[in-house]
Structure 1
């Protein structure tokens, strides 16, 4: 009699996620809106610079893209639990479309353009929190981290293509047409989510929906995070890894100048980090859930070590390779996400993921700003190397404490 064959269950990966009804529409919508948003940031920066001739006003576009995360992601986070996620996602997309379309009004003052951008920034963390809460309902525990990984992969790919496409299209058709395309991208995203994805239940459907109750509910979400030690350590780790490693992006232009290369060579550094993140996410997504959990500490620690190599003043190509290795460590989130999901009560998931997203963007923005300030006083390579030297023990401590 032949020996029995032991069959192991297939490792849940990207294909398994895409086979879930509605998931393809979620990812296509994310890709469309991400590329449109990034290209529009380029267009808006150029448009404001053309009107004012001021580099400061142009730089405020990035400030207005980051700043609202800290406020909107905390004050409005309970919206992600009070209403069905699909409804929140569609309304956020439509509100963003209206704001971007309003930028096309002839004679819109510069402050008006920045104000509209601030509104879209307030909406962004709420949208991302509701989407994560929706994925937690539509995907099981093993598929959920792969789904979030795929979203991050699309985001990093969009960072490269969005800015590149935006620069080309601004030169070809002008910034106003590109803003119009961005408004359309939000409408397309809303349609895909509204008509092609399954509905998920609200995390806290019985909660009051007045403004006062919303703010109170958001505060309760922050309290839930503060009092849950295990959850707090996990969220801090998801902030610390990119918070330190993204410094290389913030000093890319300054570092290429220090290395004696043309400013355009900074694109190698931006692309290196993004490509490393994409490759890391795709490779780790093929591993088993147990393997992803075991790799949390090595990947988190490994995201910081390559930065120390900047003390040696590597060439731009070698520096891009170091940032690629650093970006690959971001895949540690695939092991962290299911732990966060298990540690969070269902009624708080929308708030938790909204706060996590807003905190992530805030930490990255602050990190880039501080490194930029230090880069004016010290050699950029020294600042990046020092960041890795500080970041390595910090993320190692957080990873071990989890």
Structure 2
């Protein structure tokens, strides 16, 4: 057995790495040494336009999550049905699996900035249309489905844009910062949404969300650098887009190292996020009030943010060496749920599990180097779509098992299965 990465020996703390350590996979006769540039969060923020990218992401993320709360409440007020209200989350996840695969080549055929602005404006139009008085519930969910189709295209184009604007050392830190903002928005967005719904009502909150997408489009369109399209010469008819998307999928799945890396980025959150799905059931079984489930939600998100921030301060070489410990560390804490820990202890375990998600800072450069530039937009779109789909399926499956078994047992079994799977993906024979 050997590690997924095969770093050459180098002095501890050295800021010099070899070509083999970069994962280029090319045979070399001798070590080619170069100096690693600064690669922390401050270095990313110094790149022109990056601050606008991250502010735009924060604005649209908080607005989107708050709007999910508003739409769930609005639909429940109109129908009185918990099922219809729950369909808001289903319509938020479901389109990722379809839009992110069938339309993924759009992220390569147009300039990323143009794709990003168009996606933001389309989402703003859909949210604004929800404000039409008397709009049927099915129409509200249909508009939400459209924004769900747009979301993976937006995220794929943004990752492709970062790959052009940031070098190989700064790129994983840039994506890490986006994930950090997303996890912070999960906590603040849902909390802010609940407060604002009570203060101004769901319709006004939807209007605020529409404005947040417009603000994001303005920030991206006016203050971020333009990046070239990865495959600008391709046809742009629907048929050619679908064909190009299929070619992208073949490129990913026929490239064995790339396929393993993408599966690894899906498996880590796919298993470790199960604790979120069973948070309410676990706190109830533990004898605590259901409202204590917020500790578990916050624990996982806080652990993810802390892990990303700590690992971002490390050198690229160290981040690559930590891939295997972090992916395994994302699963092992879940096994302790067999012991039925208290709610605070369970929150701490989920925080440890969430910290392992920082493994992506080591995996992202390997994915980048294993992918031809013409396929990067499709790759990142498919990667995002698969991640969201796997998480949704994992939460749904664990919820079904949680009706038959104690939630702690389900989470513990998930930790065991996840440890076995991510270990097999992180190592190669």
| TM-score normalized by the length of structure 1 | 0.98
Whether contact under 8 Å (1:221, 1:348) holds in the other structure is: yes
Pair 1:164 & 2:194 matched:
no
List aligned pairs for 1:149-298, cutoff 5 A: 149-298=176-325
Q: 2:29 maps to which residue?
A: none
Distance 1:390 1:134 in 2: 35
**1:11 shift after superposition:** 3.8
Pair 1:391 & 2:418 matched:
yes
1:68 to 83, 89, 95: 95
Whether contact under 8 Å (1:67, 1:362) holds in the other structure is: yes
CA offset digits 1:18-77 (Å, max 9, x no partner): 000000000000000000000000000000000000000000000000000000000000
**1:401 shift after superposition:** 2.6
1:87 to 101, 106, 114: 114
Distance 2:251 2:407 in 1: 39
Pair 1:345 & 2:372 matched:
yes
Q: Secondary structure at the match of 2:134?
A: coil
Q: Secondary structure at the match of 2:427?
A: helix
Whether contact under 8 Å (1:11, 1:287) holds in the other structure is: no
Distance 1:81 1:235 in 2: 18
Moved segments of 4+, more than 6 Å: none
Unaligned runs of 5+ residues in structure 2 are 1-13, 16-34
**1:9 shift after superposition:** 5.6
Q: 1:51 maps to which residue?
A: 78
1:304 to 323, 331, 341: 331
Distance 1:9 1:203 in 2: 26
Distance 2:224 2:324 in 1: 35
Distance 2:382 2:163 in 1: 16
Q: How many pairs are equivalent?
A: 397
CA offset digits 1:333-384 (Å, max 9, x no partner): 0000000000000000000000000000000000000000000110000000
Structure having the higher helix fraction is 1
Distance 1:100 1:10 in 2: 43
Q: 1:13 maps to which residue?
A: 40
Distance 1:75 1:371 in 2: 28
List aligned pairs for 1:361-376, cutoff 5 A: 361-376=388-403
Q: Secondary structure at the match of 2:161?
A: helix
Unaligned runs of 5+ residues in structure 1 are 1-5
| TM-score normalized by the length of structure 2 | 0.92
CA RMSD in angstroms comes to 1.1
2:347 to 320, 344, 361: 320
Q: 1:123 maps to which residue?
A: 150
Distance 1:366 1:201 in 2: 35
Q: 1:3 maps to which residue?
A: none
